[in-house]
Structure 1
Amino acid sequence: MDRLRVPCTKELEFGGVLGAALLILLMPTTVFYLLLTCRTEQASLLNFFPALPMLRSLWDPQDFVLVVAWIALQALLYVLPMGKITEGITLRDKSRLQYRISGSYSLGVTALVVGASLAAGLRLSYVYDHFLQMAFSASLVAFGLSIFLYLKALLAPETALAPGGNSGNPIYDFFMGHELNPRIGTFDLKYFCELRPGLLGWALINMAMLVKETELRGNPSLAMILVNAFQLLYVVDAFWHEEAILTTMDITHDGFGFMLAFGDLTWVPFLYSLQAYFLVTHPQKLSLPMTGGIILLNGLGYTIFRGANSQKNTFRRNPADPKVAGLRTIPTATGRRLLVSGWWGFVRHPNYLGDLIMAFAWSLPCGLTHILPYFYVLYFAVLLIHREARDEHQCLRKYGLAWQEYCRRVPYRIFPYLY
């Protein structure tokens, strides 16, 4: 059984223990700094000391209950016998975990619940009025979950630990995630948090911002409609292709710790909705030509993003599928083949390129006078470049000479002719 033990993590990421400790503080600080700045008249990122609310004003028991109730609703929908059962990748002990693919059903039921609540008089703009309090409550839930995950991992078998979160340092492992696939029975905590409460929360928050703008000005602006439509498309796409998440780095390599827990429960819903939040207090007018250009740009990004991901997933499931059978490949020592044509012969990470183009299109409706709504683009560029470096390192270690040949034939990483 010793050979099945997860080796101790030697290569520490994110600046090691010190970097992990700083990020545990920096991530919540960034969320509240941006949300507080967004509500100021200038919305300037150079205002490093926005007026800080009293800590007791951030705590609202009712808002905490609402956040927990939202997560509980999604958890209930997750355990209902809807959708199909599929298997994840083969683990170190040669087992394969089963997952219920039912996100689209959860999306539909959630939409019905929200619609019925609105018809019954729910004031959705309450989310905007209590945005800071809800973000604070979500942060408390994320910290609490992270502590539970770390303590649970201490009792987990060696084979269940994450290859990237087994350093032996409690701060680093708390941040990275000590256990790879923490479960309570058949309830997979990481898989559940990866999509459901955060992404659906993001879409709901955007809708709340649209409702708030309508209350303030009589009707939603074209800019707000575009932001809602673009980001809702992204959320619906994620649930429609939910099964593809089982092959991502988050699921296959990273443990479930503070990095992903806070990211899923707080960072995604409360910062990814920053453009809609900005537009409530900083309305923008768009001309029809500008609107058309933004729609085309988002369409281009989505086409690249979806085309690349679909091509990769189709090839992984069945290389003989007529859609991908004609693509050129490079054989590897592991028995797998690397795509070297189609989208994956254009750049090494075409899905990242599409993601960044869409992110830019989401920010453009907010105008060009403030950089704050473009935080998502800047952050996402840093995130994807860092993730790309992690991908490259793992692929080189896994595929060796075949990966070197792939890099020679596809020299650009994300941006053609630039990077």
Structure 2
Amino acid sequence: MGQDGNELRLRKPHGATTETPNMPSEEGRKSDQRLDKHESYEFGGPWGVTAMMIGFPILMYYLWICLWFYDGQLTHPKSVDDITPFLERMWMHVKTDASPNLYAWKVYSGFFFFQLAIALVIPGYQQEGLPVPSLNYKTLMYNCNALSCLYVTMITAAALHLTHTFRLTEIIDNYGHLMTVANIYGFAWSFGMYFYAVARGQQIRMSGSFIYDVFMGAILNPRIGSVDLKMWAEVRIPWNITFFLAVSGACKQYENYGYVTPNMAFMCLATWLYVNACGKGEECIPQTWDMFHEKWGFMVIFWNFAGVPFTYVYSVVYMASHDPSKYKFSTPTYVALYATLLTAYYIFDTSMSQKSRFKMQTQGTFKFRKTFPQLPWGTIENPTYIQTAHGNRLLTSGWWAYARKPNYAADWVQSLTWGLCIGAASPIPYFYSVFFITVLVHRCGRDFERCAIKYGKDWERYCSIVKYKFIPGVY
């Protein structure tokens, strides 16, 4: 027994347990049935999601134009009489520098379908997911080959660059055009998956509002062969593009100045850490809410295809279009910046693996996967937990003894460093961290509300033990 007699200890961390803790009790099935129904609107309902679907792409264009054409500063009409000319200038930038030209279609589509093709043919680590309530608690198998696909992609990109078949500098040079094609992909796949789900009778948790259901999604686990499209899109598309945008920026700097600044090298490291983490720990993703509960709609599809890669690396866009003297730091500042990133990454990586491996331990599906880098304290030996009446277990060991979402806090600190790497040169690269904290707080509220319904008094007991949401002693 643990604190106040409320915690238990898992005594078989590496093997199957004698129970089936991830299979819910009768009481748990009733709460799952409730959670698997549409009861209320989120994000302001149909009007709110419509505003987001229209407003976010417009914001993406505006911030990119400010970065590339207005010295990274937020431009605006100088007077009421300037509103129309201002909008005309914005439109001309989009029309001229962000048109969905044939080149952008070939590059984005080539990358997109190359990622799908290698995901289909490259063997990977087989991981069983959690029981899915919507599938009558059936578990799905996931072919985790993202890490192999990442290195195949890196080798392919290097070969194309060195042979001058496709110069990596062209990615950042065609940022606007590629962003527009990505936006089109995001909208097309979102509406396409909605109509596909309805035509196949696979829609779940529907609200009855067409636009809201397109936004939230209609289908849970669409697949092509061994590829789970939702997990594939979450890992392969956004973070690969993000990484290669950073590499493209570095190549651009080297081409222009004969060297790469520590700031740009920082972004190459930061984006590589993230994309590599997604690959080397891909077997942890099937244990997440994203896989077994969140539907595949505009909210996820657009964000993966366009939002993440074309809004998270604004610092790269700024550095690729401005002289390095505008964001040069002292050596101690660089040391502090890199140290902050690596510390936050360590907490992010190990907290994610602790939670996911704990779920695998209780399910009896955990096997240690030898991928790089496996960090100390990524697996908790003999973890403590709360056994819920629902049937699941709530972890109270490792980083999860100090906060309910320690991974969120660490992930946000990483996002902040992606803006700090250019200092005060432009406010726009801080968009990622400002937007991200808003998303995390909202997602945290959604998750805690769902857990309160799912676990009832056991959730209250858990919250009395793990008191803080993100940061121990603070919040």
When normalised by structure 1's length, the TM-score is 0.93
8 A contact 1:162–1:254 mirrored in 2? no
What whole-Å deviation, never above 9, does each CA across 1:368-415 have from its counterpart, x for those lacking one?
242211111111111111111111011111111111111122221112
Give runs of aligned pairs for residues 191-206 of structure 1, distance below 5 A.
191-206=231-246
Q: Cα gap change, 1:369/1:118 in structure 2, threshold over 3 Å: closer, same or farther?
A: closer
2:347 and 2:466 map into 1 onto residues whose CA distance is 17
Aligned partner (choices 34, 44, 68) of residue 109 of structure 2: 68
Q: Rate the CA distance shift 1:47–1:221 in 2: closer, same or farther, 3 A.
A: farther
Determine whether 1:20 maps to 2:49: yes
Contact 2:125/2:283 (<8 A) preserved: no
Shift of 1:45: 2.9
Q: Which residue of the partner structure matches residue 255 of structure 2?
A: 215
- Separation in structure 2 between the aligned mates of residue 196 and residue 336 of structure 1, nearest angstrom: 30
Which whole-Å CA distance do the structure 1 matches of 2:405 and 2:34 have between them? 32
Aligned-pair identity (%): 30
SS at match of 2:126: strand
Q: Is the 8 A contact 1:8 1:168 kept in 2?
A: no
- Distance, in Å, in 2 between the alignment partners of 1:305 and 1:181 is 26
| CA deviations over 1:281-319 (Å, ceiling 9, x no partner) | 233212110011011111221121112112112211115
2:138 partner SS: coil
* Aligned position for 1:52: 90
Q: CA RMSD in A?
A: 2.2
Change beyond 3 A, Cα 1:131–1:233: same
Report how far residue 330 of structure 1 moved: 1.7
Q: Secondary structure at the match of 1:52?
A: helix
Per-residue deviation, 1:267: 0.8
Alignment correspondent of 2:463: 407
Corresponding position of 2:447: 391
CA contact (8 A) 1:86 1:100 kept: yes
The 3-state SS of whatever aligns with 2:236 is: helix
Q: Which amino acid in 2 is paired with 1:39?
A: W
**Alignment-derived partner of residue 147 in structure 1:** 191
Alignment-mate amino acid for residue 112 of structure 2 = I
Q: Which residue of 2 aligns with 1:324?
A: 380
Deviations 1:51-87 (A, max 9, x none): 3243543120121121111101000011004113322
Residues 380, 397 of structure 2: 8 Å contact kept: no
Aligned to 2:348: 305
Aligned partner letter, 1:254: E
> Residues 367 and 5 from structure 1, CA distance in 2 versus in 1: closer, same or farther, beyond 3 angstroms?
closer
- The alpha carbon displacement at 1:141 in A equals 1.3
Matched to 2:107, the amino acid is L
Displacement of 1:260: 1.1
Closer/same/farther in 2, CA of residues 416 and 116 from structure 1, 3 Å limit: same
Q: Which residue of 2 aligns with 1:176?
A: 216
| One of 13, 29, 32 as aligned partner of 2:58 | 29
- Given that 2:313 and 2:429 are in contact with CA atoms closer than 8 Å, whether structure 1 keeps it comes out as no
Aligned position for 2:124: 83
The one-letter amino acid paired with 2:262 is: L
Instruction: Check if 1:43 corresponds to 2:104.
Output: no
Partner residue, 2:6: none
Tell me the matched-pair count.
413
| Deviation of the 1:203 alpha carbon | 0.7
**1:367 is the counterpart of 2:411:** no
2:286 equivalent among 246, 259, 264 = 246
Task: Flag the 1:289–1:259 CA change in 2: closer, same or farther, 3 A.
Answer: same
Q: Secondary structure at the match of 2:421?
A: helix
Q: Which TM-score applies when normalising by structure 2?
A: 0.82
Whichever residue aligns with residue 464 of structure 2, its letter is R
Unaligned residue ranges in structure 2 (runs of 5+): 1-31, 78-85, 367-376
Structure with greater Cα Rg: 2
Q: 1:105 aligns with which of 125, 148, 161?
A: 148
Q: Residues of 1 paired with 2:199 and 2:226: CA distance?
A: 17
| Conservation of the 8 A alpha-carbon contact between 2:221 and 2:295 | yes
Once residues 289 and 314 of structure 1 are traced to their aligned partners in structure 2, the CA distance between those partners, rounded to angstroms, is 37
In 2 relative to 1, CA 104–184 (structure 1 residues): closer, same or farther, beyond 3 Å?
A: closer
Residue matched to 2:29: none
Q: Which has the higher contact order (CA 8 A, sep 6+)?
A: 2
Q: Closer, same or farther in 2 for the Cα pair 1:229/1:13, shift >3 Å?
A: same
Displacement, 1:180? 0.9
AA partner of residue 195 (structure 2): L
Structure-2 residue corresponding to 1:295: 338
Among 341, 347, 352, the alignment partner of 2:403 is: 347
Amino acid at match of 2:187: F
Range moving further from structure 2, 406-415 or 65-74: 406-415
How far is 1:14 from its partner?
Answer: 0.8
Q: Deviations over 1:196-227 (max 9, x none)?
A: 12211111111111111222222111111111
Change (3 A) 1:46 1:248: farther
1:82-102 residue CA offsets vs partner (Å, 9 max, x unmatched): 113322222232322222110
